[in-house]
Structure 1
Amino acid sequence: MDDSDRLSALRQELRRSLGNERYELWLGPQTTLTLADGVLQVGCASQLEVQWLRRNLHEALASCSATIFGSSPAVEFAATAQPAQSSPAAGSEAATLKRAPRHTRRKQYCPSQLSLDGIVETPAIPQPAAALLAALPEQAAERKRPRWTFEDFVVGDSNRMAAEAARTATQQLGRFSPLLIYGPSGTGKSHLLSAVAAMGRASRQRPRVMQLTAEQFTAQFLEALDKRALPGLRQKTRSLDLLAIDDVHFLNNKRATLEELLYTIDAVQSRGGQVVLSSDRPASELQAISVELASRISAGLAVAIDPPDYATRLGIVRAMSSRMDIAMGEDVMQLVAQQVVGSGRLLSGAINRLVAASMAARKPITFEIAGGAIADFCRQHSPQVRLIDIQKAVCEVFGVESTSLKSQRKSRSVAEPRMLAMWLARKFTRAALSEIGDFFGRRSHSTVVSAQRKFDGLIAERGEIVVGDQLCQVEEAVRRIEAKLRTA
C-alpha cells in the first residue's frame, strides 16, 4: 500500500471516528494530509485553524493514524495560506498578548474569525488580529497528559455513585473487584475508566496498570495465539495491579477470548489487584454473554451510570466550552443544557454546531444565534416521532386518557400533561404551532408558545409536576416519556 492509499484509508477512518459532519467541517478538502519520514503533516488554511485542530483533533489524528499505519506517527500542523503582513501596531499587540496571562488571552478567541468552510478571508481579520493569532502559544493539548481524568469528570446525581466507586477502587486496589460501570452510550463510562488508569499510573506505589477496550483485548489475544506468544501475553496481563477493560459486551460469542479474560480476572484478583469493567448493560443481562463473567461481577460491585440530568449537562457544557476556549454566555449554556437532552457526545456535537453557526454568521455566539442552531440540531438528532406518538407516550406516563389532552379541562392533572405534550411536540417534530394547537384540542398557537415557555422555565428551575398521584421532577417525567418514544 503506497502513501496515497494509506492517507486515503486514514481519511476514511477519521470520517468514521469523527462523524461525517465534523470531518467535512475541519478535515475536508480545505485540509491537506501528507506523510513524510514518519511524520503526518496537516496543512490548514489559516493559523487559527492550526490552533483549533491542534487543540481539538490532535488525539483523534494520532489514534486513527495508529489504527491505519500500525504505529502513531508524530503529527505536525502548518498554515498553508500566506500570513497577513503585520503592522507595527500589530507587533506591539502580539508582544502584549505573549506577556498576558492565559485567561486574558482566551478572551481574544472569537469563532466569527473563521468562515464556515474553514478558510480565513483577509477582510474578516484585521492585521492586528492576525498578529494576535500568530502569537498564540502552543496549546496544552500538545502536552503529555491523560485524555480524561477524575478532575475533568462532571459529577451529578446521575453519575455520582459510579464516580465515587471508580475513585475508591483506584485508591484501594481490590476493594471493589471486579467493578462494573454500566449505562447507555455517551454517559461517561470510558471517561471513568481512563480516569481510573490515569490515577493508578500517577500513584506513588506505581502499580502496573493497563487500560484497553474489549476489542483490543481480543485482538491482542488472537495475535498472541496466532504467533504462539500466549505465555508472554499472560505474563503481561496476569501480573497487573490494575486492569481496566471497556465495553465487555463486545465479547459476545467470543468464547475463547472470554475464557482468557476470566482467567486474567482471577489472576489479577488473586494478587490483590483491581479489575474495572464497563458495559452498556447490567450484570443480569451479561449472563447471556457469559454466566461465569456475570457471576464474578456479582461478587464485586456493579454501579449504573445514567444519562446526565439538567444540572450535570450544564456542568458538562461549561467544562467543554472552557476546554475548547469558546466564548459563550451563561444564557447560551443554559439553553444548550435545557434543549439537548442526552449524552455528553450529543452536547459536544451541539457545541460544535454553535461554533459553526457563529462562523457562518461571522458573529460571536449570541443567544439569538444559539436558539436557531440548537433548534435545528435537536430536530436532526432527536428521534423522528409523530404527534400521536407523543400523545400516546404522555398518556402512558401520566395515566390519563388521550381524550383528556384534547378536552377543555383545566385541572392540573390534565393541563400539565397537555402542556408538556406541546413542549415535546416543539422539540421532536417539525409541526407548525397551529398544527400542534389543532392536534391538542384546537388551541391557538399562542397557547403552544406559552406551554413551551412554561416548561423551559420549569426545566431550568428543576421544577416539579404531578405524575399520577405523586410529585415528580420535570426532567424525570421527560426522561420517562422520551424512553417511551425511543421504543415507539
Structure 2
Amino acid sequence: MNKDELWQALLAQVQFNISKANFATWFKNTGVFLKKDGEVVVSVPNNFSKEWLENKYNKLIFKTLHSLDDEIKEVKYVVSPKTEVKNGEFPAIAGNAYEEVPQLDFPELKTNKDTNLNPRYTFESFIVGPFNELPQAAAWAVAQNPGLIYNPLFIYGGVGLGKTHLLQSVGNEILKRDPSKKIRYVSSEKFATGIINSIRNRDVDKFKSAYKDIDVLIIDDIQFLSGKEKTQEEFFHIFNALYEKNKQIIISSDRPPKAISALEERLRSRFEGGMIADISLPDFETRIAILKTKLQEKKEKFSDEILEYIAANIQSNIRELEGALNRLIAYQKLNNQAPSLAVAETLLKNVIFSPKKITNPEKIIQAVSVFYNLKERDILTASRKKEIVKPRQVAMFFMRRELKSSFPFIGRKFGGKDHTTAIHAYNKIMREAESSENLMEEINLIKEQIYRL
C-alpha cells in the first residue's frame, strides 16, 4: 500500500483505541509525509501536535504501523513541511515553511472550526435502545431548551458507547435551531493543555475570556481533569460564570462524578446538581440495528448472517462494531465481492478473538493506578493512607480474580506483605462490591481498562 493508504489504515484502527474527542483533536490534518527504508515520517499541523503525538501516542502509532507493514522500524514527526523531498532525504524544516497537509477522507476529522463539532453526529444517526434511552431523552430535552433544563447534563458510560456522538448531537441540533448560538466542544485534555499554556504565557485571563460569551459548553472525558488542581480551579470559575448566566453545560465521563478520584468536592457537587444519565451496554437487537445503520450510511450491504456474527461476538463497544464493518468494507472494495461468513471470521479473528482475557500483574497495577490517579509505586509501598490502601486492595482483588494468583504470590508482589493481607483485601473488596453500587461500577470500569492495555 502507498503512504496515504497506510495512514488511512492506521487511522481506521487508532480511532477505536482512543476517545473520539482525542482522535479528532490530535489526528486531524496528519498524514505520512515520507516512507523510506523502514522509516515513516508523519506530518502534523503544528509543533504542539508534534509534541503530543511523540509523547502520548507514539507507541500506539508505531505498533499499528508495524502491524500493517512489518518493515517499519521507526516513526518520526515533522510539522507539515512545504519543502519537497529530494533524493530521498528528509527536508530541513524552515521557520515558516508550513502548510496544512490535505486531510484524508475521514469523517471523524471533518469538524466545524468554530465549534469543533462534527456535523455527522446528529440525533437522526444516533441509534436509541434500552441501554441509552434516558441519556438520549435528556440530551434531546436540552437541545430544545438549552440552559433551562438539566443543567449541567452529565452523561457517563464505558469506552465506545456513543457518548461523544450524543454530546455533539446536542450541539449540532442547537446550532440548527439557532445558528447564532455560540457553541464550544472541547476534550478535557485539550482544555487542560490550554490552561497549562496560558499559565506558562501568563495570560490565564485571556484564556478564560474566550469562554465567557459561550452559550453552550461541551466538555468530553472530564475524568482526565482528575488530579489537575489548577485546571479544576479555572474550570470551576468558567463553570460558575456560565451557569449563573443560564448557559448550557454538557459533560461526559467514563464514570459517575462520585467515582472520579482526585476531583474537587465543589466540582463534584456542581456535576451532581444537574442531570446524570448513564449509557450501558447495547443489547443484541440494538447492535444489529447499529450495524445496519452504519452500513446504510456507508452505502454498503452485507448478509444478515455476517451482521449477526459481528453482533454476537462484539458486545461491549460500538466503536469496535464499526471497526469490524470497516475491515469487511475494505475487503469488499479491494476484491469487488462481498465476504462470505468464513472470510469474515478470518478477517475479524484479531478483533473478536483478541487476547482480551490475557493480562498480568503489571497491567493490573497500571490500570488501577491510572483509575485512582496514583503512581504505580504508590500502590506498591507500605503506606497506610486511605487513598492508597483502597486501590492496593482493589489491585490485589483483581490479581486473585483475574489471574487466579496465590495469596502468597500477591503478598510478595506488594512489597513482601503476608498472605493474610492479600486474603483480607480480596474478601473486603468482594464483600463491599456486593453492597456498594459505586464500587461495583469502579471495578467494572477498571476491568475494562485492564484488558485494553
Query: How far apart, in 1, do the equivalents of 2:176 and 2:196 lie?
Result: 31
- The amino acid that maps onto 1:154 is I
Going from structure 1 to structure 2, the CA distance change for 1:338 and 1:165 (only over 3 Å counts) comes to same
Q: CA deviation at 1:183?
A: 0.9
Distance 1:70 1:210 in 2: 30
Q: Quote how far apart the aligned CAs of 1:266 are.
A: 0.9
Structure 2 SS opposite 1:210: strand
CA shift in 2, pair 1:70/1:324, >3 Å: farther
Give 1:85-484 correspondences, 5 Å limit: 146-174=119-147, 175-204=149-178, 206-286=180-260, 288-355=262-329, 363-375=337-349, 377-380=351-354, 382-384=356-358
Say if 1:206 and 1:77 are closer, same or farther in 2 by CA, change over 3 A. Answer: closer
- Asked whether the equivalents of residues 287 and 293 of structure 1 are also in contact (C-alpha less than 8 Å), the reply is no
Secondary structure, counterpart of 1:8 in structure 2: strand
What is aligned with 1:8?
A: 42
Question: Of 97, 102, 106, which residue of structure 2 is paired with 1:75?
Answer: 102
Rate the CA distance shift 1:483–1:298 in 2: closer, same or farther, 3 A.
Answer: closer
Q: What is the CA distance between 1:253 and its match in structure 2?
A: 1.1
Max radius of gyration: which structure? 1
* SS of equivalent residue, structure 2 residue 143: helix
User: Are the counterparts in 2 of residues 357 and 369 from structure 1 also a CA contact under 8 Å?
Assistant: no
Amino acid at match of 1:290: E
Identity %: 23
Query: Structure 1 stretch 315-324 or stretch 155-164: which is displaced more?
Result: 315-324
Aligned-partner residue type, residue 279 of structure 1: S
Which AA in structure 2 matches 1:348? E
Whether the 8 Å contact between 2:82 and 2:97 is mirrored in structure 1 is no
Corresponding residue SS for 1:243: strand
**Is contact 2:227-2:261 (8 Å) kept?**
no
377 and 77 in structure 1: CA distance in 2 versus 1, 3 angstrom threshold: closer
Pair 1:195–1:383, CA change in 2 (3 A): same
Contact preservation (8 Å) 1:183, 1:189: yes
SS in 1 for 2:151: coil
C-alpha contact 2:186 2:218 (8 A) present in aligned 1: yes
Go from structure 1 to structure 2 and tell me whether the alpha carbon gap of 1:27 and 1:217 turns closer, same or farther (over 3 Å shift).
Answer: farther
Map of 2:15 onto structure 1: none
For residue 146 of structure 1, what is the amino acid of its counterpart?
P
Structure 1 unpaired stretches of 5+: 40-68, 79-138, 386-481
**Structure 1 residue 203 displacement after superposition:** 2.6
* 1:27 Cα deviation from its structure 2 partner: 13
Seen in structure 2, the aligned counterparts of structure 1 residues 225 and 72 have a Cα distance that, compared at 3 Å, is: farther
Tell me if the contact between 1:253 and 1:289 (Cα under 8 Å) persists in the aligned partners: yes
C-alpha distance in 2, partners of 1:266/1:217? 16
Moved more, 291-300 or 368-377: 368-377
Q: C-alpha separation between the residues in 1 aligned to 2:303 and 2:224?
A: 41
SS in 1 for 2:249: strand
Q: Gaps spanning 5+ residues in structure 2: where?
A: 1-32, 45-49, 85-95, 113-117, 360-443
Instruction: State the AA in 2 paired with 1:254.
Output: K
Letter of the structure 2 residue corresponding to residue 75 of structure 1: P
Q: Relative to structure 1, is the Cα distance of residues 219 and 23 closer, same or farther in structure 2, using a 3 angstrom cutoff?
A: same
Q: Cα distance, 1:334 vs. partner?
A: 1.9
Does the C-alpha gap of structure 1 residues 141 and 349 become closer, same or farther in structure 2, counting only changes over 3 Å? closer
User: Residues 335-358 of structure 1, C-alpha deviation per residue, up to 9 Å, x if partnerless?
Assistant: 211221120121122223334555
Moved more, 156-165 or 367-376: 367-376
Mapped to 2, the partners of 1:295 and 1:71 lie a distance apart of: 45
Deviations 1:237-264 (A, max 9, x none): 1221100001111011111110111111
- SS of 1:380 mapped into structure 2: coil
Given that 2:158 and 2:445 are in contact with CA atoms closer than 8 Å, whether structure 1 keeps it comes out as: no
Deviation at 1:265, TM superposition (A): 1.0
Give distance in 1, aligned partners of 2:123 and 2:158: 20
The verdict on how the C-alpha distance between 1:38 and 1:74 changes in structure 2, with shifts beyond 3 A counting, is farther
Give the AA of the match of 2:284: Y
User: Can you list the C-alpha shifts for 1:422-458, whole angstroms capped at 9, x where unaligned?
Assistant: xxxxxxxxxxxxxxxxxxxxxxxxxxxxxxxxxxxxx
Q: Match of 1:128?
A: none
Between stretches 155-164 and 17-26, larger displacement belongs to 17-26
8 Å CA contact retained: 2:306, 2:344: yes
Could you say which residue in structure 1 is the equivalent of 2:363?
A: none
Q: Distance in 2 between matches of 1:214 and 1:263?
A: 15
**CA distance in structure 2 between the aligned counterparts of 1:279 and 1:243, rounded to whole angstroms:** 15
- Cα distance per residue 1:193-250 (max 9 Å; x no partner): 2222222322326221111011111111122222222222222212211000011110
| Compared CA separation, residues 201 and 27, structure 1 to 2 (3 A) | farther
Deviations, residues 139-166 of structure 1 (Å, cap 9, x unaligned)? 9998976142222211111111111111
Distance 1:72 1:252 in 2: 36
In 1, Cα distance between equivalents of 2:58 and 2:337: 28
CA distance in 2, matches of 1:28, 1:329: 36
Q: Is the 8 A contact 1:224 1:233 kept in 2?
A: yes
Q: Residue 75 of structure 1: SS of its match in structure 2? A: coil
8 Å CA contact 2:151–2:250 kept in 1: the answer is: yes
| Counterpart contact for 2:182–2:214, Cα < 8 Å | yes
Mean CA deviation greater in 373-382 or 214-223: 373-382
Deviation track 1:308-362 (CA, whole Å, cap 9, x = no partner) reads: 2112211221122233343312222122112211201211222233345557877
Supply the AA of the counterpart residue of 1:158.
F
